[in-house]
Amino acid sequence: MRQRSLIAITAALAAGALTLTACGSRDSGDKGSDSGNGGGSTVVIGVDSPLTGDLSAMGLGIKNSADLAVQKANKQKFVKGVTFKIEALDDQAQPSAGQQNASKLVSEQEVLGVVGPLNSSVAESMQKVFDDAKLVEVSPANTGPALTQGQDWQNKKVRPYKAYFRTATTDAIQGPFAAQYVFNTAKKKKVFVIDDKKTYGSGLAATFTEEFKKLGGKVVGTEHINPDAKDFSAVATKVKNSGAQVVYYGGEYPQAGPLSKQIKAAGAKIPLVGGDGIKDDTFMKLAGAEATGDLATSVGAPVEDLPSAKQFVSDYKAAGYKEDYSAYGGYAYDSAWAIIEAVKKVVDANGGKLPSDARAKVTEAMQNVSFDGVTGKVSFDEYGDATNKQLTVYAVKNGAWVPVKSGTYTG
């Protein structure tokens, strides 16, 4: 997702602004809360995520959590003389829509940062648009390593876009972390690997497979599925006949749920394991009662176990959002707050007002942003990646995701 990972929260919100006095000229999109600092400048933080479609549960959690960060910043008057708003756009988990949204946000000069997207494949279509405009982007959910370290990241890391950051850790860590748990802790030695051919899914499956083999495990079969498909009976039969002890799926919950259900219906009573892309309550609804024992990794630690997240959880509930914050809520909040922190640095350094080159300055300031966030310490390394590398394994028990092990990947 990016892509996704292990904590039940996620933070995302980006701040941006050129010198502005008001922001009322453009009203398209979903403009969020902006209770005020009275007068001064308005900075809009764009939010891009799937607000409709199969992945909307995660996308709406991202939007709401970024909105919550804006509400807090305005209530506290965190940046004197600046009022924050969000503008949320729906990418429907489609790269083409994401690119159009990126162009729209770039065209609006009051936008000084963007939170999102959810999907790594969507991020690929947006990065250059934002980078060319020096508009900072902070994703709470993307986990594809190439987004920050280049296509040849396994051999030579090269940062392709300086305007791109993320608060979630990457699949370079998540895939191997899952492999170590499956092989060493769950004691599964034979795996059938399936992916949805998308950037997130295929990348995650590849890093899992490499580590699993390195540990001594055996891949007894591989398959690619169409992410638009609903009938997985053919691949389910292959899984049963392979003798696999576990299935690893690189993809997202709309397909993972039915896939798990159909594999078990075919007679292979073995767990399905996936990444943060499957860790949503909708997975259990789609997978049915036999999902018990299925596993997912996700970024960070469980929000319920983080002292730093207690206020976020309480404030989110009090705000009355209709949707849950889902897997990336905490990261989305932290992404948005990172943008707010960057704006504050720029304003403070410019005598209490936004400079004419605010976008470039905010992007530059993001590299040195560091604060204690909902998900823990938030800061970025030289590639724009989160310095927080913690992950968690969750298991389905009694119809819910229950954390079973948190830690960091040891390579």
Residue 197 has pLDDT above 90, yes or no: yes
Q: If pLDDT is split at 50, 70 and 90, which confidence band does 241 have?
A: very high
At 223 the pLDDT is 98
- Render pLDDT for 53-100 as a digit per residue (tens, 0 to 9): 999 999 999 999 999 999 999 999 999 999 999 999 999 999 999 999
**302 — pLDDT class (breaks 50, 70, 90):** confident
Quick one: which of 278, 300, 259 has its CA closest to 55? 278
Whether the predicted pLDDT of 333 surpasses 50: yes
**Distance between CA atoms of 52 and 81, rounded to whole angstroms?**
35
Q: Which two tokens stand for residue 407?
A: 């830690």
According to DSSP, residue 336 is labeled H
pLDDT in tens, 135-189: 999 999 999 999 999 999 989 999 999 999 999 999 999 999 999 999 999 999 9
Q: What is the pLDDT of residue 39?
A: 47
d(CA 216, CA 113): 45
Alpha-carbon distance 144 to 334, whole Å?
19
Show the tokens assigned to 215. 């540990």
How many Å apart are CA 175 and CA 389, to the nearest integer?
13
Answer whether 251's CB lies under 8 Å from 200's CB. Answer: yes
The domains located in the chain, with CATH, are 30-168+306-378 (3.40.50.2300), 172-299+390-408 (3.40.50.2300)
Residues sharing a CB contact under 8 Å with residue 156, sequence separation 6 or more, in sequence order: 150
The structure's pTM equals: 0.84
Question: Which residue is listed with tokens 């591989």?
Answer: 222
